[in-house]
Amino acid sequence: TESPMRQDLSPTGRLHLVLRDPRSQQVIESRCVPNLVTTAGRALLADLLTGSAQSIAQIQMAVGSGLLDGETEVQAPAYEDTALRNELTRVVTELSAPTVAALVPDGPPRSITAVTAVLEPQLGGESLVLREAGLVMTRLGSGEGSPETEILYNRVVFPTITKEPELQMTLTWEVIF
């Protein structure tokens, strides 16, 4: 058995996307996709643990098309990502209290925090063709007058999902430690 001192407890996560008709509550599409925690996201966690960062002012869920003009394929997430490839919108999130659960049989307990955002229906709005998402955390400045810094904590890409204006999309990100 693995020594508790040699466990890999790297931060991970997965995104649950649920697209539904708000009138009937019918689920149109549901997906669960693993993500990559960026280098900047890992550094933010280290700063919070060591006291170099005091707090996070806000967490937003960003979604995007994943494609720049002329591109036909979405680039896979990379540790060095600092932004989505083509962000379309952001939504302020709700954060749940952490829970501790075993994710794999015989594995160490992991802490899970769920971060949820809802893209509400926008009647008369545009369809959103989505292929990427990420959590953007606003780090408070280290002292009075210090600027806040936006950090892309993680990024995920997924097969195209279209959010039509009359539909509601719930994005729940499980952040796992």
User: Is pLDDT above 60 for 1?
Assistant: no
User: Is pLDDT above 60 for 155?
Assistant: yes
Whether residue 151 is contained in a domain is answered as: yes
pTM comes to 0.85
Whether residue 101 is contained in a domain is answered as: yes
Nearest to 19 by CA among 175, 152, 159: 159
What pLDDT was estimated at residue 48? 85
What pLDDT was estimated at residue 21? 96
Supply the range of the domain harboring residue 135: 13-176
Residues 81, 41: Cα–Cα separation, whole Å:
10
pLDDT band of residue 176 (cuts 50, 70, 90) is confident
Quote the tokens at residue 152. 């892309």
Distances from the Cα of 171 to the Cαs of 8, 18, 35, in angstroms? 27, 7, 13
Residues 172, 93: Cα–Cα separation, whole Å:
9
What pLDDT was estimated at residue 40? 95
CB 26 within 8 A of CB 119: no
CB 176 within 8 A of CB 110: yes
Distances from the Cα of 143 to the Cαs of 44, 46, 50, 140, in angstroms? 16, 18, 16, 9
pLDDT in tens, 31-69: 999 999 999 999 998 888 888 877 888 899 999 999 998
Whether residue 48 is contained in a domain is answered as: yes
Whether residue 1 is contained in a domain is answered as: no
In angstroms, the first-to-last Cα distance of the chain is: 20
Whether residue 4 is contained in a domain is answered as: no
Beta-carbon contacts of 24 under 8 Å, excluding residues fewer than 6 positions away, are none
Number of domains in the chain: 1
